[in-house]
Amino acid sequence: MRHSTLLLILLLAALPNSAQQPKIVGYYPEWANATRNYHPANIPAAQLTHVNYAFATIDKDGRCALHDRKSALERPYPSAPQTPGVLFQLRLLKQKNPHLRTLISVGGWTMSAGFSDAAATERARDLFALSCVDFVTRYGFDGVDIDWEYPGGGGKDGNKTRPQDPQNFTLMLAELRRQLDMRARIDGHPYLLTIAAPAGPWATQRFELARIHPLVDWINLMAYDMANANSELTAFHAPLYASSDDPRKDAKNRSADAAVKAYVAAGVPASKLVLGVPFYGRSWTGVPATSHGLYQRHAKAADKSRETWTYKEITTLTGTPYFHPDAQAPWLYDDQRGTFVTFDNPRSLAAKADYILKEHLGGAMIWEITEDDGTLLPALSNALKPH
């Protein structure tokens, strides 16, 4: 009997990652509380495994800190007057959904300016890690997600950078891992450490991936924004595969599949890659009707102040829908206005979910959940259920 039990244990341990429930990580932006009237209670927690609260910032002393204190801690909720603020509402959401885990995401595109200094020295890294652990335990999170955009440059104009950023980033993660694990031994439960990382072809040169992946629980791969207002041609911003008719010289590198393969080739286990999908689209105007607007020169973003559109808004736009069989990506083209929109829809998300399962990836990540019209997340969640 003991031999059969041992055999069963060994067999279960040998099962591929695809036999485990894939993660579904949804970013919830702090500003959605005020600008979209979308509150933690609106989060469809049953269809998610993790919620990343975006974002905490880095203060002038190099500490992890609240960005909008009023929204995070003070804004009242008529339905729960004793628990004001988004952070307390997230705790209530977890109480009602015991399976759900939450992480504080630090940085993002607009708040990565302090990372280079916070990672530059051993003392700075120790202080930053200690402040992150304090943030997690004080506000009831289950871990930290680091979204440094980007070590060594390429992020928002004005961000401080150093040539040593990639190496310092690894050292920062190592210190975070050490302090989170130390706190876990005290508290009696583990704390998660994840990062958000870009899908561009330069990513594997900017990150010490072979040294990073043992330190983190997984990597949220930002497999979107592969085309934007600065792109010479209209194109898909989140294609699953490169398409044979894409005329761009670097087209083969601009797909989710290419990004996954690059990370795996750099030493990251597939099971530690969580594939990012967008719940928003990008658009251009002044686009000729050739090929229904695909891979065409354009005048500009469709509306410079509104280059991006939530999926909820995209469903209200005029135009003819198309789907590319190679890229497994949809687009919308309005020949009357010369407008082209690239996005993900339930069909493309089903293809990505199938890819995640077949390639034994860790799951899917969403930027971001408040942009849905109520159809994308259910489609993704249902498609990720192991067949």
Q: Which residues are catalytic?
A: 149
Work out the burial of residue 185: count CB atoms within 10 Å of its CB; fewer than 13 is exposed, 13-18 middle, 19 or more buried: exposed
Dig out the tokens for 87 from the structure.
């952070």
The closest of 373, 371, 367 to 27, measured between CA atoms, is: 367
Work out the burial of residue 184: count CB atoms within 10 Å of its CB; fewer than 13 is exposed, 13-18 middle, 19 or more buried: middle
Q: How far is Cα 55 from Cα 60, in angstroms, rounded to an integer?
A: 16
Q: How far is Cα 353 from Cα 332, in angstroms, rounded to an integer?
A: 22
CB count in 10 Å sphere of residue 290: 10
Q: How far is Cα 387 from Cα 371, in angstroms, rounded to an integer?
A: 28
Strands 280-285 and 300-301: antiparallel
**Amino acid making up residue 222:** M
Dig out the tokens for 219 from the structure.
């990597």
Strand partners, 56: 106
Strand partners, 195: 146, 219
Instruction: Please tell me what DSSP assigns to residue 216.
Output: S
> Which are the contacts of 64, defined by CB distance < 8 A and separation ≥ 6?
56, 57, 58, 104, 106, 128, 131, 132, 134, 135, 144
